[in-house]
Structure 1
């Protein structure tokens, strides 16, 4: 999909191709991290991430019987 949006490689100028390569390489990072992340921080982060994704879905699933028992909204 994104290749179609970028255009055909033969129709682009060499300058644009070089700019695209430069932009892609700019985000590379090769050094090790300054601070090591421990197991506790990793577990805490994963729990918070899972909670923020699953809590709203759980709330909706828990309240489905209530949503079904309500009368439909009047226009």
Structure 2
């Protein structure tokens, strides 16, 4: 229950210091054990750090003849 609550708070954007206080930990390192970042949080952090890394549009894979031939051969 503590881990789940810490994760939900972290996902909601609550500062780790506040989560530490809520859980009653003296050391922030103890709180970090409960509040490990999940894949979604890591993705969001990377997107914020590198906003222009991934383009908005997806490539037109269905127009790539070589790819279609390879997929058909599978």
* Length-normalised TM-score, structure 1: 0.28
* Length-normalised TM-score, structure 2: 0.28
Instruction: State the structure with more CA Rg.
Output: 1
Higher RCO (Cα < 8 Å, 6 or more apart): 2
